[in-house]
Amino acid sequence: MIDREKAFRDWYPQFDGFFSEGDGRMIFDSAFAAALDLMDEERKEFERSFKAHYSKVIEARDAEIAWLNDRIKQLNSAIGDYQSVIRGKNHILDIVGEEIEQLKAQKWVRVEDRLPNPKEHDWVLVQAEFTEGGYGVPHIAELRSGIWYDLVLENPMEEELAIRVTHWMPLPTPPESEDDNG
């Protein structure tokens, strides 16, 4: 609690004793009470002004936080979409990699080195050399009793087309049917 008289005397030492009794005291009490009321009103006004300003600052901050949270959600969604795309692309790359490895494994085999086993490969892809020289387009053929038969002609290839089969390779795995994929 403020000692009003002491505070006033400290501020205005020349009035010491003037406000100790009678009218002076009443004037002092009245003036000091008015000053305190004024200070109290100014404090209240300051608090109202501060609260109004502060509430606007809080509202602006809350709006920024809400915007940032929305942006974070958007970015997380975009990251999730991007990760899904990456997973899909990685899956495709895995499949392509497997296919490449299978194709690498399917090299041309020289007929002098090995002939296809009919139990494993009844029809194979063959590369033939023309009797005059040079290679033609590969054919699908079957080896029956040591004679190559063309898939389309169903006749002995080497005699019919004047070629000599030099190489062969297994046919690639056929694609999965759409029913197998769901």
For residue 54, the model assigns a pLDDT of 83
For residue 135, the model assigns a pLDDT of 79
Q: Residue 147 forms beta bridges with which residues?
A: 144
Sign of the C-alpha dihedral, residues 42, 44, 47, 53?
Answer: negative
pLDDT digits (tens, 9 = 90+) for 37-56: 777 788 888 888 888 888 88
Top pLDDT among 150 and 100 is at: 150
Top pLDDT among 57 and 160 is at: 57
Alpha-carbon span 101 to 128, nearest angstrom: 25
Max intra-chain CA distance, the chain:
146
3-state DSSP of 5-38: HHHHHHHCHHHCCCCCCHHHHHHHHHHHHHHHHH
Confidence category of residue 65, pLDDT binned at 50, 70, 90: very high
pLDDT digits (tens, 9 = 90+) for 153-180: 777 888 777 788 999 988 887 788 776 5
